[in-house]
Amino acid sequence: MTDQPDQPGQPGQPDQPGLGEVLRDLTPQVLGILVRRGADFAAAEDAVQEALVEALRHWPEPGGRPDNPRAWLVTVAGRKLVDAQRSAHARARRELRVHLEPGPGPAAQADDTLLLLSRCCHPALTPASAIALTLRAVGGLTTAQIAEAFLVPEATMAQRITRAKRTVSGQRFDRPGEVGAVLRVLYLVFNEGFSGTVDLAEEAIRLTRQLAAATDDPEVDGLLALMLLHHARRRARRTPAGAVVPLADQDRSSWDTAMVAEGVEVLQAALARDALGEYQAQAAIAALHDDAATAEETDWPQVLEWYDELIRLAPSPVVALNRAVAVGEVDGPLAALRLVEGLPADLPRRDAVAAWLHERAGDRDEAARRYRLAAERATNLAERDHLTRQASRLNRGPGPRAG
Amino acid sequence: MAKYLLLKHYRSSHAIAKDELVPMDQWTPDEVTAHIDFMRRVADELRERGEFVDGQALSPEGTFVRYDGEGRPPVTDGPFAETKDLIAGWMIVDVDSQERAYEAAARLSAAPGAGGEPIHEWIEVRPFLGEPPVVTE
């Protein structure tokens, strides 16, 4: 089981418009077909990568593009798989040939998506391994692209993927695993945001769309809605220089209204099915923010109701902290501060929320002190810079509150 | 995943763990080779685990440099014969947890020194400031 060299030519490459995109959509389908017919996952993944290399070599030639690209890839990948096993397992080859004969129906394809995702997000894998394997085996990204997105050397990422494949290899593929584990991994990919040349948020949305089309679970739709409702604000979240812009100060006219509309539609359809879960609740909160034309128009009482649901469905200190912000808006900063001070001292952003509430309560000195503490404990640069600016604004003496 | 810088100090107040550290030039050649082999092996292990990002050993001689105003050459100071705190090298790992970063640092610290015994040197572990998450509300 080796990590195959990556195929050149990806979406956006000018000389092959659309080809990379087509191949990335077909990657999980082809892999799913091979795996469902009994091929070992790791071997099948290698075979699919080899078939993609062949496709990139032959399809751009005049008349090279096959009429049925998926069938072509299945045939070529199947042949690669047989070649790989020929010397070692002559008998297994004959059996495999028989398995590779039948064609897939649409229902089987839908099952494959969940089957593959649940295998790539297997609980035996660490989150980082699951993410890497998902992006390659289902997302169709190259090892080099994944390495760049996570700012590690390609050799390191290749090893991470190889180890992940070894871990899930030998696990049976006969039935899909838990959807929850898949949703957690997709959520993590989304939250990585954008670094390097690969937009991981977009990639997460693409994969979640595939999963939503293949499954019948309102929480999958809830996660898709959550992603769309947040991604709609991407242009407003940072200044051109990269500084963080808090929700209250964002230029709402730059939000993507079409994406908000789609997110709301997906969410409403999910909620109508009356099987509430944490992703639907989070999406509902995001939708209420997206719905307010100005920060002042935010329907905070309803936001708080959704946080009450969320904390019931998925209690955690992070949710409790975010809920405290809503309490601050509904019941005032002092009520919220009582909640915040009861949370663990090492909770990220706790001091930042406390600082904001102290300022609202009129205690500028304590607010400045807590902003400084929050800056010292920030786990990322953009947040630290933002918090330092807040502390310095308060330390420079009284004046109108600025973002 | 989070990235951590593992700093290998030499001669810092923390560098001496159990006993006074015997300077490397007073080890036997085999002991020096064993130490270097060990460091390379740890890097290979981390690579194999998909956690290695980068690492370098640094020349012990360094110079302090600072800006001295527009149009003026930079001011330099040093090199110093004796530095109180010298960074001998560094490694960057990309790992799943802080615990795992500590584990990797402890592994580095087990490098053998004089007499083939682990030198137990302190490794400073510093988390990187990464990117903010997308969802914060």
What are B109-134's pLDDT values in tens digits?
998 988 888 888 889 999 999 888 88
Quick check: A191 and B129 CB within 8 A? Answer: no
Q: Are A188 and A233 in contact (CB under 8 A)?
A: no
- Kindly state the helix (H) or strand (E) to which residue A164 belongs, with its residue range: helix A154-168
- B137/A contact by beta carbon, under 8 A: yes
* Overall size of chain A counted in residues: 403
Looking at mean pLDDT, say which of A100-104, A191-195, A282-286, B74-78 comes out highest.
A282-286
Q: Which of A376, A400, A402, A399 is nearest to A390 (CA)?
A: A402
Q: Is A387 an 8 Å CB contact of chain B?
A: no
Fold of B2-59+84-127: Alpha-Beta Plaits (3.30.70)
Residue type, A4: Q
Give the start-to-end residue ranges of the domains of chain A: 216-234+254-315, 328-403
Smallest Cα distance from A194 to chain B, Å: 9
Lowest mean pLDDT segment, chosen from A11-15, A31-35, A382-386 = A11-15
CA A74 – CA B11 distance, rounded (Å): 61
Sign of the C-alpha dihedral, residues A59, A65, A70, A72?
Answer: negative
CATH topology of domain A328-403: 1.25.40
Report which of residues B32 and A12 the model is more confident about: B32
Helices (H), A193-331: 200-214, 218-231, 257-271, 278-291, 300-313, 317-331
The residue of chain A with its CA nearest to that of B129 is A380
Percent residues over pLDDT 90 in chain A: 58
What per-residue confidence (pLDDT) applies to B11? Answer: 58
| Contact check, Cβ <8 Å, B137/A381 | no
Tell whether B53 lies on the interface with A, counting CB pairs under 8 A: yes
Does the pLDDT value for residue B51 go beyond 90?
yes
**pLDDT at residue A172 in the model:** 61
Asked if the ipTM is above 0.95, the reply is no
Tell me, what amino acid is at B58?
A: L
Q: What is the DSSP letter of A234?
A: G
Average pLDDT over residues A290-318: 97
Smallest CA–CA separation between A275 and chain B, in Å? Answer: 23
A 10 A CB-CB count for B90 gives 18
Q: Judge whether A226 is closer than 8 Å to chain B, CB to CB.
A: yes
Would the pLDDT of A384 be above 80?
yes
pTM of the model: 0.83
The angle formed by the CA atoms of residues A199, A164 and A178, to the nearest 5 degrees, is: 80
Query: Quick check: B4 contacting A, CB < 8 Å?
Result: no
How close, in Å, is residue B97 to chain A by CA atoms? 10
Task: Show residues of chain A in contact with B133, CB under 8 Å.
Answer: 191-193
* Token pair for A164: 């992940």
Cα(B3)–Cα(B94) distance, rounded to whole angstroms?
4
Write out chain A residues lying below 8 Å of B54, CB-based.
153
